[in-house]
Structures are given as structure tokens and as C-alpha cells.
């Protein structure tokens, strides 16, 4: 019975940004627990690689190359999902990213790029999947946020603002839809070893294994799978009494060194 609570057998999950990192790990964990997948992202070759791994597990995988900053492309993604599977039960809004610059160096175009990629995409996708989820009376939306939404990180100010927006949007959409069976939660990531994080450490001329920003109690960076399992929790019936929550998965809070 306990294991069944984490099962997503027979459910269809859309995972954006599922070619690498947290998105790929999440898609794999959901497939391992019974879900069929829709894989979305900009780099088709990476999505296809994830799809092969999912099919090797005996699950179905539909690849839909998508720029989630384009609302029309998001609509095509959901339409393709419904045409292929007939229903959608889980949405993981994972696509995102940032660049590191002092606030005064950001251009207007870069601001829009980061806000659209991290926040507008969540709005577009959530509203689109809500219609079939509300009609069937069940669904789970999981948004990937960041510890930057809680911290003062000057080199990623627009990114932190967008992720804080995700936390607020998570609460608002949960308030709107939970009573109709659609739960909305978020996972705020600490330092996780991804392609984007490796770019940040390289720019900072630091080791790929260093924890950038305020220290964490566990003393290491996390792996993508360590975010994927909290996502599984929110996607499954194990979290049936949770909605509107943002879970900060960061290795534990630790005060930064002062000497």
C-alpha cells in the first residue's frame, strides 16, 4: 500500500526542459513509477535521447520540440498530448535558466528572455493543462522554482524575481483549482549539478563541485535525481493533502562563513 501511494501508473506527464538535468531525471523517475511521458524542450536530439531511455523501461514517450516562451507553441504541445494520449494528469514546469550579470549590466531583452523562460512559460502551460485536468476532476502541476526566489543573489536578480513569481503563482493557481481536484505545488532547488550550474561555476572560475552562494548544511551540491523524487511526491497521491506549497530542497540551511 505504501508503495502504491507513489505510483503514477497509467498517468500521462508533460515535462518541459526534459532533455537534460532536472527535467531528464524527473521524466525518468516518473517513467520508473509508471507514467507515460510527453517530452518538451528546444533541443530535439536531447529529447529523443531521453525518449529512448523511457521506452527501454517499457513506457511510452512522445517528443514535442517546444519553445515554452511561445504561447502558441505551448498550445500545440498540449494539443499533441491530448491527441496522442487522450488525457494529461501531470505537468512539470521545469524549463528555465539564467545568466549571471550584475543588475546594471542586464539589457531589457535579457530581462524579457529570463522572465518569459522561467515565469511566463509556467503561466502558459498551467492554464492550458488546467482545462482537461479540471474536466476530469484530477491533476497535479509541479513547478520548478529555485532558492534564488528566497535569497538575495545580485548576479541573477531577474531570475530570482521570476522564480519568486513562480512561488506566488503556485499559491494562486492552487487556490483557484484545488477544490476542483487539481493540485499545484513547487520545488525550489538549491545548488544542483546541471548544465546551467556548471556554466555558473565556470564563469566564477570555481570547481564544478563547489556550492555557490550561501552555504548548505550537507556540504555538497545535489544531483538532478534529488529533485526528481520530490517532484514524484507532488505528482503522486503521496501528496494528496498538499497544494499551494513550495518545498525548498537545498541540502539544509547553514549560515555563510563570516571569517
Report d(CA 157, CA 162) in Å as an integer.
9
Report d(CA 52, CA 244) in Å as an integer.
34
C-alpha cell at 208: 564544478
The residue assigned the cell 513506457 is 59
Instruction: With CA atoms as reference, report the closest residue to 39 among 83, 92, 116.
Output: 92
The SS3 call for residue 58 is coil
Burial classification of residue 67, based on how many CB atoms lie within 10 Å of its CB (0-12 exposed, 13-18 middle, 19 or more buried):
middle
C-alpha cell at 130: 488546467
Among the listed residues 159, 197, 229, 241, the single catalytic one is 159
Report d(CA 257, CA 259) in Å as an integer.
6
Tell me if residue 229 is catalytic. no
- Terminal CA-CA length for the chain: 51
Report d(CA 71, CA 66) in Å as an integer.
10
- 3-state class percentages of the chain: helix first, strand second, coil last, to nearest 5: 50, 15, 35
The residues annotated as belonging to the active site are: 159
Amino acid at each position: 500500500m505504501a508503495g502504491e501511494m507513489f505510483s503514477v501508473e497509467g498517468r500521462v506527464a508533460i515535462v518541459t526542459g526534459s532533455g537534460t538535468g532536472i527535467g531528464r531525471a524527473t521524466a525518468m523517475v516518473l517513467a520508473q513509477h509508471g507514467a507515460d511521458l510527453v517530452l518538451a524542450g528546444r533541443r530535439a536530439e536531447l529529447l529523443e535521447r531521453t525518449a529512448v531511455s523511457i521506452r527501454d523501461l517499457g513506457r511510452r514517450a512522445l517528443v514535442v520540440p517546444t519553445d515554452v516562451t511561445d504561447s502558441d507553441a505551448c498550445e500545440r504541445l498540449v494539443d499533441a498530448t491530448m491527441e496522442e494520449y487522450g488525457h494529461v494528469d501531470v505537468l512539470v514546469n521545469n524549463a528555465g535558466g539564467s545568466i549571471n550579470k550584475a543588475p546594471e549590466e542586464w539589457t531589457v531583452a535579457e530581462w524579457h528572455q529570463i522572465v518569459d523562460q522561467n515565469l511566463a512559460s509556467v503561466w502558459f502551460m498551467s492554464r492550458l493543462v488546467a482545462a482537461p485536468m479540471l474536466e476530469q476532476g484530477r491533476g497535479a502541476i509541479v513547478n520548478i522554482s529555485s532558492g534564488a526566489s528566497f535569497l538575495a543573489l545580485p548576479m541573477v536578480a531577474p531570475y530570482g524575481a521570476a522564480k519568486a513569481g513562480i512561488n506566488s503563482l503556485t499559491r494562486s493557481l492552487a487556490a483557484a483549482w484545488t477544490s476542483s481536484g487539481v493540485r499545484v505545488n513547487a520545488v525550489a532547488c538549491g545548488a544542483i549539478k546541471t548544465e546551467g550550474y556548471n556554466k555558473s561555476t565556470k564563469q566564477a572560475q570555481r570547481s564544478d563541485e563547489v556550492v555557490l552562494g550561501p552555504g548548505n548544511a550537507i556540504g555538497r551540491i545535489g544531483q538532478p535525481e534529488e529533485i526528481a523524487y520530490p517532484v514524484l511526491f507532488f505528482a503522486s497521491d503521496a501528496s494528496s493533502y498538499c497544494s499551494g506549497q513550495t518545498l525548498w530542497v537545498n541540502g539544509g540551511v547553514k549560515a555563510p562563513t563570516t571569517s
